Chain A
Amino acid sequence: MPHAEKPTARLAGAVKRYGSLTALDGAELQVHPGELLALLGPNGAGKTTAIALLLGLVRADAGSVQLFGEDPQSIEPRRRIGVMLQHAELPPTLRVGELLRLTASYYPNPRSLQESAALAGIGDLLRRPYAKLSGGQQRRVQFALALCGRPELLFLDEPTVGMDIDARQKLWAAIRQLIDEGCAVLLTTHYLEEAEALADRVCVMSHGKVIHEGTVETLRARVAQKRIRCRTTLPAELIRDWPGIGEVRQENGRTYIVTAEAEPVVRRLLEADPQLGELEVQRAGLAEAFTELTRDADEASTNPQREAA
């Protein structure tokens, strides 16, 4: 997908250290206009720090951070974004309508109160004090606050945590509607099905770096591969020479084979080794692609201790 337009948000070689901890280690990230980019990664991978830099909450130690081509610590580019943070307790005694009215007042051209409320599905909650709402309702109110300024870029940090399936589906529908209107979204999430349902592109982070970036399809293609596991006496070198074999390794007496097409390989395996046992063939989903990606990165970064582990 060519992107002629300038990215709405951009990290280039961004480094952020907290004391001796390097939270971001040269991260590269771009959110293009109108797309939904899902930022995935295990806890401590640097997702939160990446968001904090793009929101201007912290300053990078090195590299560049841009929001609409400007420094996010100045207010102008932030007038074009909406924000939903994972941990933000809003004033408990204020009513939902008052919170919306306050947040909308920060923006040059906000949506009307009714429009924001309807988009987030909280039209019936406007007169309720925030503290009296359920967790899921509070998340929907936070979503309404994020979209009320008619943003061109929306930051959604784990938006559906604490929501039931129905509420999650509704939020996804609302996010899709915003994207259809041309709003870009940077989504961080632990739920891979959320990324699969919404994302145009996926960015996987690990140890402060972006280790994979591409469309959901390319991420899945990485694991459209099947994995064959078995106990066999055939040497790895032999199998490696067969056609269509991606990768072969042997560990703890088991042989692991990665291939695009499992059937011919299995047939050949069984012919070559009648004693072969414990045969398993797996097809990995996005979750496994993700696990595999981050595990590889883990191994790369802890290489010296790998022998022991």
Chain B
Amino acid sequence: MDIVMTEAPVSFPATMPRRRVLGAYLEEARSECLRYMRSPSFMLPIMLFPAMFYLLFGVLMAKSNGADAARYLLASYGVFGVMSPGLFGFGVSLALERDSGLLTFKRALPMPPGAYLIGKMIMAMAAAAGVVVLLLAMALTLGHVTLAASQAAALLLVGVLGVLPFCALGMFVGTLFKGQGAPGVLQLVYLPMSFMSGLWFPLPMLPKFLQQIAPIWPSYHLDMLALAAVGMNTQPLLGHVLVLLAFAAGFLLLAARRLRRHG
């Protein structure tokens, strides 16, 4: 170990310039993105499952039904793809980090409050953007879907913001289960919910009962927004937006309460 000349620690006031606080938020988000982008076990399922499904059902099998089927399924598989970085990126990583002591360490450090959650949120949004871009590229090239630039941008926006309610749900599950238990529970939430909100097969093809209860699921509402983005839903959207907002706020509050109590 080298001997290093250092300035003696002067008793400076522990005030932090606002620029440095902002810098800490940015560093946290940057680190969070870097560490997951470098982790294939996290990125591959998130990117490949929706892409594979879309290739199979949206591109290859939908050929006989024309470009509208490919367009419809671009929206639903987009939503399917956007859910998983929210649920898994947020929920699983929170559950693991509660278990591994990383969250405790970060809480002991002077990390600005919220930087941890905002960092994970930005990471989930970036991953969601990645999924949507991948599906858009497949739809435009392989699926021969024609989209206006504004429609593609709208779908991207729906994806990037639509991941947030699922972050809140994932976070809540992550506060309930510690460590390796969380991924299983999240699969039990993710797959049935995707199916029942008509993301795999269009809702009209599902049993009447499932069609009736579909509005319970946040993914149904996000699907309505995604379909509107690609020009396949002309119904009013405000209701769906409000449901998603309420859903996000509700689970965020629940999770925050549990985190405060149980760490």
Q: Distance (Å) between the CB of A72 and the closest chain B CB?
A: 9
Closest Cβ neighbor of B11 among chain A residues? A152
Give residues 33-63 of B contacting A (CB, 8 Å): 34-36, 38-39
CB distance from B46 to the nearest CB of A (A): 15
B239 within 8 A of A: no
Least CB separation from B40: chain A residue? A93
Known: A108-B12, A118-B2, A118-B4. A102 touches B27 (CB 8 A): yes
Contact A98:B34 (CB < 8 A) given known A105-B20, A105-B23? yes
Q: Are A76 and B31 in contact (CB under 8 A)?
A: no
Q: Tell me the smallest distance from the CB of B120 to a CB of chain A, in Å.
A: 12
Most chain A beta-carbon neighbours within 10 Å: one of B17, B20, B36, B39: B20
Cα distance A151–B4 in the bound complex, in angstroms: 16
Contact with B along A66-105 (1 / 0, CB 8 A): 0010000001111111010101111111100011011101
Q: Does B149 contact A (CB under 8 A)?
A: no
User: C-beta contact mask, A186-201 vs B, less than 8 Å → 1, else 0?
Assistant: 0000000000000000
Q: Which of A173-181, A208-216, A234-242, A275-283 contacts B (4 or more CB under 8 A)?
A: A173-181
Q: A56-B108, A108-B14, A108-B17 are in contact. Are A88 and B100 (CB under 8 A)?
A: yes
Q: Which residues of chain A are near B15, meaning CB under 8 Å?
A: 76, 108
Indicate whether B216 reaches chain A with its CB closer than 8 angstroms.
no
**Shortest Cβ distance from residue B138 to the other chain A in the assembled complex, whole angstroms:** 28
B205 at the A interface (CB under 8 A): no
Query: Is A128 on the interface with B (CB-CB < 8 A)?
Result: no
Q: Which residues of chain A are within 8 angstroms of B108 by Cβ–Cβ distance?
A: 55-57, 78, 83, 85, 155
A-B contact sample (14 more), CB < 8 A, given A92-B35, A115-B6:
A78-B109, A79-B14, A85-B101, A85-B104, A85-B105, A85-B108, A90-B102, A91-B31, A91-B35, A103-B109, A106-B109, A108-B15, A108-B16, A111-B6
Q: Check: A121 CB closer than 8 A to any chain B CB.
A: yes
B9 touching A152, Cβ below 8 Å: yes
Given known pairs A85-B104, A101-B27, A118-B4, the reply for A94 and B109 (CB within 8 Å) is no
Does B107 have its Cβ within 8 Å of any Cβ on chain A? Answer: yes
Judge whether A88 and B12 touch: CB under 8 Å. Answer: no
Interface residues on B, range: 35 or more
Q: Are B9 and A183 in contact (CB under 8 A)?
A: yes
Q: Which residue of B lies closest to A119 (CB)?
A: B4
Assembly CA distance A209 to B87 (angstroms):
44
Asked if A107 lies at the interface with its beta carbon under 8 angstroms from chain B, I say yes
CB closest residue in chain B, given A90:
B102
Q: Does B223 sit within 8 A of A, measured CB to CB?
A: no
Whether A75 contacts B112 by the Cβ 8 Å rule is yes
Query: Which residues of A are at the interface with B, using a C-beta cutoff of 8 A?
Result: 55-58, 68, 75-81, 83, 85, 87-94, 98-99, 101-103, 105-109, 111, 115, 118-121, 123, 149-152, 155, 170, 173-174, 177, 181-183
B249 within 8 A of A: no
A109 touches B12 (CB 8 A): yes
Q: In the complex, are the beta carbons of A173 and B1 less than 8 A apart?
A: yes
Q: Contact between A177 and B263 (Cβ–Cβ < 8 Å)?
A: no
- Mostly, the B contact residues are loop
* B1 A174 Cβ-Cβ under 8 A: yes
A-B contact pairs, 9 of them (CB 8 A): A56-B107, A87-B101, A102-B27, A108-B17, A118-B2, A120-B1, A181-B8, A182-B8, A183-B9
Q: Is there an interface contact between B104 and A182, defined as CB atoms closer than 8 Å?
A: no
In the assembled complex, the Cα of A288 lies from the Cα of B31 at a distance in Å of 47
With a cutoff of 8 Å between Cβ atoms, the chain A residues found around residue B36 in the complex are 93
CB contacts (< 8 Å) of B12 on chain A: these are 108-109
Residues of B within 8 A of A120 (CB): 1
Whether the pair B111, A106 counts as a contact (CB closer than 8 A) is yes
Bitwise, B87-101 to A at CB < 8 A (1) or not (0) is: 000000000000011
Contacts of B111 in A (CB 8 A): 106
CB distance from B2 to the nearest CB of A (A): 5
Q: Are A76 and B9 in contact (CB under 8 A)?
A: no
B24 lies within 8 A of chain A by Cβ: yes
Nearest CB of B to A164, in Å: 14
Find A94's partner among B35, B112, B113 (CB 8 Å cutoff): B35
Indicate if B110 sits at the interface (CB-CB under 8 A): yes
**Which residues of the partner chain B approach A119 to less than 8 Å between Cβ atoms?**
1, 4, 6
B3: interface (CB < 8 Å): yes
